[in-house]
Amino acid sequence: MPDLPRGSRPVAANAPARAAPDAHDLTVLDGGRRVITASVPTAQSASVSFFVGVGSRSERPEVGGVSHYLEHMLFKGTEQRPTAPAISEAIEGAGGSLNAFTTSELTCYWNRLPFERWQRGIEVLADMIQSSLLDREEVERERTVVQQEIRRTHDNPQAWAGELLQRVTFGDQPVGRPVAGTLESVAAIDRSELASHLGSHYTEGNAVLAVAGRVDHGAVVEEAARHFSALAPGAGVPAEQARRGLPEERVLVEERDLEQANLALAVQCGGRRDPDRYPLEVLVTLLGRGMSSRLFKEVRERRGLAYSVAARVGRLRDIGALAVTAGVTREHQEEALGVIMGELRRLVSEPVGEEELARTIDYAVGGFRLALETPMAIGQRLGNQLLLDGEIERVDDAVAALRAVSARDVQRVAEGLFAGPPALAVVGPSAPADRLDAILSS
């Protein structure tokens, strides 16, 4: 049996229930199938999530979006349940809900049920994953649906600015391409491509089953061993390493006749396990999370330049990005961008004060803890970390690391992040790209 992640151990079926958000039990079955559970004795629900270690960064550009397309197709029918309604009714008819999502690095299928029906959740997911028909007519029908989803993103200025930001932050490499692919790449995906993708990546060593709620670990393992016995052997296919550095085209303006310009700017940062991830969490919270953040107070409250302005950070295994987004009128675009850049530079030039730092850390810790209130949130965190990191970080360890962040840590990280101008994407009425770039570079 492979080494278990820190903080886990196999347990007997009659082990006492625990409720801490990171208390978990892990069993690795034959072939490397990983089953992780968290017992929440007071919960009225159980969440069942099946994670696969494949997403858009593992795809060839000519069939970009195949992971997301396959995610759609696994809801379209199996040998036992030959139609999409038969699959949805199996869960909804038991009082639950079901869905899935695809990212750059993983695909996740999940359902949530009343706790006494958790076995149904495992059985239906196993049926979808291992016995999908991939019916040719359904493949052709769903192609249009996926392309409509891509068109919807394009027609949403804020969402499209995010897509363009990914391109100008990472450039022409897998992590810089859209998760859903393009209209052209989706048109090139056929049934054989979907079946090949399924066979190559949906394997025993490249998947995690995470179940959280009022459940018993031993019983979950028994059901998982029985229902997921047809997964193909093998481990995941390594994704291409991300290249560092902004691309040559790092400012992109798409003019549209809109009321607002949607601004999105970003810098690259470290990946999921980067040693500076906690100072970065404090920095991004200080900058643009909540109504007490610097950007909210300066851009919205003091100057009235925008209704929405925020900062966020996203991380992959080996790279990440810190992004700032805002919606402003053309009249206020350049002023707002200048104010945002001023706040980024302020993080470099001035150490954050003691009181503001303490308040920011409390907000970051509170948000982290409050996000782990439900079985779904707990199960998602466990499955995501086990699949991508190979271990589960204790909640108290993460909180201690946040509380250990100093003003110098925040300033040091800012110095590295904002040493050069960021990438920028704009959708809407806009100043020319060269004028915006001058603000970024000044």
Can you say whether the dihedral through the CA atoms of 354, 356, 360, 366 is positive or negative? Answer: positive
The pTM of this model reads: 0.93
Q: Where are the alpha helices (DSSP H) in 60-190?
A: 66-73, 84-92, 118-130, 136-155, 157-170, 183-187
Task: Report the length, in residues, of the chain.
Answer: 442
Structural domains in the chain, sorted by start: 25-227 (3.30.830.10), 251-441 (3.30.830.10)
Q: Going by C-beta distance under 8 Å and a sequence separation of 6 or more, which residues neighbour residue 223?
A: 119, 122, 123
User: Is 259 an active-site residue?
Assistant: no
What is the bridge-based pairing of β-strands 107-114 and 45-52? antiparallel
pLDDT tens for 65-74 read 999 999 999 9
Over its length of 442 residues, how does the chain's per-residue pLDDT go in tens digits?
333 233 333 333 334 334 566 799 999 999 999 999 999 999 999 999 999 999 999 999 999 999 999 999 999 999 999 999 999 999 999 999 999 999 999 999 999 999 999 999 999 999 999 999 999 999 999 999 999 999 999 999 999 999 999 999 999 999 999 999 999 999 999 999 999 999 999 999 999 999 999 999 999 999 999 999 999 999 988 899 999 999 999 999 999 999 999 999 999 999 999 999 999 999 999 999 999 999 999 999 999 999 999 999 999 999 999 999 999 999 999 999 999 999 999 999 999 999 999 999 999 999 999 999 999 999 999 999 999 999 999 999 999 999 999 999 999 999 999 999 999 999 999 999 999 999 999 8
Q: Which of 71, 105, 142, 193 is catalytic?
A: 71
pLDDT tens for 85-97 read 999 999 999 999 9
Distance between CA atoms of residues 34 and 221, nearest Å: 9
Residue 186, both tokens: 């989706």
